[in-house]
Amino acid sequence: MEDLKTITTHPLAKKRSIIIGMFGIGIIIASVISIMIGQVTFNLYDIWDGIFQNEDTLSRRIVWDLRLPRVLIGLIVGMCLASSGTILQGVMRNPLADPGIIGVTSGAGLAATVIMIVFPAYIALVPLAAFIGALITALSIYLLSWKGGTSPVRIILVGVAINAVIGACMSALMILYSDRVQSVLPWLAGGIQGTGWRQFKMIIYYAIVALLLALYGIRHLRILRLGDEMAKLLGHHVERSRFFLIVVSTLLAGIAVSVAGLIGFVGLVVPHILRIMLGGDYKYLLPASALGGGLLVVLADTVARSAFDPIELPVGILLAFLGGPFFLYLIQRRRNTFASH
């Protein structure tokens, strides 16, 4: 009988290493494919030339100047969004927390939009503004839903309310500055079309720091999983680490928003599926989510820009198309086991 046998390894160990390994390989394959296909298709040889031959050829211009930075940005954006969602779900003890759904990204988006259309001279401050916007929103949600503890439902409701206020501010901004709106519209839809090395350089350092902080946060997330009481009893500073994790999570969301606009659902869908497959141990869940998020955005962006040729669909629209129904499905499935992660 299974039951009587002594199991010698973690029951999920094999699954975990397989999935994390597959994501690693998947990212490489997806990146190569993404660089290959498009209005002009290249083979591997062209790509090699494009990256390593410093001559002004067609492949150099498309592979190096356009597609490579876009793939890298897609990876970073996906990794940041998925990590952000994973951390937020852990901190808020809510499997449905997502920087997009509870309004953290719209907070970032509002702050970034203010810079872009009201103070266009300070465009370099967009990542910082997005981060601050995200942080203010996240902290307000957390504080407003706190009543000797938070519940998943209350966080979602407070998030929806805050989201509505931010939406109103956004609309007001659009009307007051209607002459300048055109330039931010594609950004609002959420996408990485038209991004290049400039944007890559703008976010890469922020992203490295934030992702390293996220890895450091794993230890905090793991101990918080035992529940506030148990974590406190083990001598952990619960409030302090929760604050730290919220800051890291919003930093990650802010980075993604500053370059890719309002891309939703990556932060929800990726950690959610992986939690079902790998379990909720953040030592595996967070790295797997980061990789999975990167993979998802690169793949989705490749589809979004090539499937509707000659029109490039912003990847945010495609992801919302897939993510919205998935979210509904999760609500159905989780109705009775809302907080049991």
Partner 1 sequence: MLLTKELSHNRSESFQLDDVNLDIQSGEIISLVGPNGSGKSTLLKLISRLIKPDQGEVVLDGKVISTMNSKDIAKKLAMLPQTQESQSDLTVHELIEYGRYPHQKSYNRLSKDDQDIVEWAINVTNLQKYKNRLLHTLSGGERQRAWIALAIAQRPKILLLDEPTTFLDISHQLDVMELLEQLNKELGMTIVMVLHDINQAAKYSDRLIVMKNGKIHYDGIPQCVLCREMFQSVFHIDAEIHEQNGGTFFTPLKMHKEIII
Binding site for partner 1 (CB under 8 A): 6-12, 216, 219, 223, 225-227, 229-230, 232-237, 279-281, 340-341
Residue 37: phi and psi, rounded to 5, are -100, 160
Q: Which is nearer to partner 1, 208 or 233 (CB)?
A: 233
CA distance 134 to 128: 10
Are the C-beta atoms of 315 and 191 separated by less than 8 Å?
yes
The nearest distance, CB 180 to partner 1, in angstroms, is 47
Q: Which is nearer to partner 1, 226 or 328 (CB)?
A: 226
Q: Which is nearer to partner 1, 212 or 322 (CB)?
A: 212
Residue 204: phi and psi, rounded to 5, are -60, -40
Please give the radius of gyration of the chain, using alpha carbons only, rounded to the nearest integer: 21
Nearest to 241 by CA among 209, 217, 212: 217
CA distance 109 to 196: 20
Are the C-beta atoms of 96 and 153 separated by less than 8 Å?
no
The nearest distance, CB 277 to partner 1, in angstroms, is 10
Q: Which is nearer to partner 1, 63 or 221 (CB)?
A: 221
The nearest distance, CB 124 to partner 1, in angstroms, is 34
The nearest distance, CB 235 to partner 1, in angstroms, is 3
The nearest distance, CB 7 to partner 1, in angstroms, is 4
DSSP one-letter string for 235-292: T--HHHHHHHHHHHHHHHHHHHHHHH----SHHHHHHHHHHHHH-S-HHHHHHHHHHH
CA distance 60 to 274: 37
The nearest distance, CB 205 to partner 1, in angstroms, is 23
DSSP one-letter string for 105-125: HHHHHHHHHIIIII-GGGGGG
Q: Which is nearer to partner 1, 227 or 325 (CB)?
A: 227
Q: Which is nearer to partner 1, 58 or 226 (CB)?
A: 226
Q: Which is nearer to partner 1, 235 or 310 (CB)?
A: 235
Contacts of 159 (CB under 8 A, 6+ apart): 101, 102, 103, 141, 145
Are the C-beta atoms of 109 and 257 separated by less than 8 Å?
yes
The nearest distance, CB 3 to partner 1, in angstroms, is 8
The nearest distance, CB 244 to partner 1, in angstroms, is 13
Burial of 220 (0-12, 13-18, 19+ CB in 10 A): buried
Q: Which is nearer to partner 1, 87 or 231 (CB)?
A: 231
Q: Which is nearer to partner 1, 56 or 239 (CB)?
A: 239
Q: How far apart are the first and last CA of the chain?
A: 29
Residue 13 DSSP one-character state: H
The nearest distance, CB 219 to partner 1, in angstroms, is 7
